[in-house]
Each structure stands twice: as structure tokens, then as C-alpha cells.
Structure 1
């Protein structure tokens, strides 16, 4: 009776699997009414185990689906981050500046290409990381400033204070 009370409370709270457990208990009660105690004990235990294994397999399937969905969402967020970091407007302006530098001064154009390649290399390194070390973040900022120096033809100054790596 105590088990029936717990299962009815579970159904009242709309817990998953409570109806299956109630059906298993009802079948166990029916078997107990029909057969001897020894047989009904083992048969009832077997039915309860089968119902618990079924509920466990359903929950495992739900967890696997949730995990796969989180992987898809993680991939989507990674692509969004990459798309955000490589904005078409920024890329077009950078390539236009690159054309000017290559035409005017091939050596500075090569340095500009190297700075751009360094920034994309850093983007590629941090793309899959959930936590980025401050050293990499600073290196990415410096790389971006190098690109902006070529694009805007302005000398930027980087200062660091009290950074704990």
C-alpha cells in the first residue's frame, strides 16, 4: 500500500514513468491474487525490474538526445562566433587596405598580410576553447591592433597593468 501511495503521488506530480510503475504494481497485485506467495514474489520482482529497466532505457535515450542537441547547439554557437569575428564589412575594408599597401609598398603589404594571418591563426586556436587564457586574449588584441594600424595608418599604443596570467 505504501508503494501504491508513492506511485499515486508521482502520478499526481506528473513524474515520468509513474504510470508504468503503477501498471507494474497492479500486475504484481494481480499475480499475487492468482498464485502462491512464493511464485508471486519472484514474478512480481521480475515485472518491477523489467519496468525499471524500461524507464532507465527511456531516460538514457532522453539524455543521449539532449547531449546530441547540445553538441549541435555548441557547433552552431562556434560558427556564430567565427562569423561574428570575421565580419564581411571588416574583411572587405581590410582587403581594400591590403590592395593599397601592396601597390604602394610591397614590404609593408607583406607585413600586413602576416598580421592578418596571425589574427586568423589565433581565431582558429581559440575557436574550440570554452576558456581562453588571458595571454591568448592579449595576443589576439595586439594582433588586431597591428591590423588596425595598417588599415587606419594610426600608431596604437598597448599598455598592460596588473594582469595575473
Structure 2
């Protein structure tokens, strides 16, 4: 099975720093995953494995923690899940495509927690619900946005990572060995 691993919490310096994607790729290969490819420094990895998604998440997390010391959250998706997410983008061409973000999670989200989000005003930012992710349109400067990963994790009570939709599209179109 082909898996896409989206790491949450990668920082350019400090305890959650990934020194180089080549090091991350080696660590993942050493864990027994096959056909490993990485994409950009924020922590995107594609590989093949016969493990279940939950086992992949645990194994990748421990491998990174033990070898680099970074305590990162690991979100695991299949190609089909990412395709459904990209194809379900609710924002039409009147929106700046570069401002569309997808928020991914490993667990099914609680309807109660989702309902709480429906009643919040985000001052020009937009939130939409999909089957594989949450869609966010963030027209303002990233530093000023109200909709962010930390906010979503608090409200949804689960691990969340976000990527721009164009990053997910590029990730899915990468040439692999």
C-alpha cells in the first residue's frame, strides 16, 4: 500500500528540526519502508508498506523520535484519500488557489466538535467540511490568521496538520522510483 505521511510540527530549528530530508528518508528506509520519497523540508514522505495506517503512524513517530529526537505528530493518508480531498475543494475560481489549505487528521472527527466550529466567525477566513479533510480559505497574512492548526487541534481534540492544496497536488504527482 502506498502511504503519504504528513508530519506536524517540523521546525527549522530547535527540538523538532529535521536536519535534511535525505536523513529523514534514510531513517524511514531503515525502518523497513520501501520506495521512500520525500518532498520539501516541512516533512512530507511517500512510501510503500504492508502495515495498517495506525501502525505506520506509530512506527514513523518512534523512528524519528529515536533517531533525530523530534517528537512529531504523524498523519498518514492514502493516495485515494488525498485525491478525494483535492477533488472536493469547495472554493471556486473566485478564490485565490494559493490561499486554500487542507487540514488532515488520522481519526474520524466528532460531530459535536465539528458542530462547534460551524458557529464560529473567522473574520473573512472560510472553513468548509469535507469527507477527508477540512478546507480553509485564508486570504490574510499567515501570522494574522485565526484559523490555524493549533486552534483546530484544541477544538477537534485530535492531531491535525495542514498543507496548501497545491503542495498536496505536487506531492501526489511526484515521480517515484
Structure 1 length normalisation: TM-score?
Answer: 0.22
- Bigger Rg, structure 1 or 2: 1
Q: Which structure: greater helix fraction?
A: 1
Higher strand share: 2
Higher relative contact order (CA 8 A, sep 6+): 2
Scaled by the length of structure 2, the TM-score of the pair is 0.21
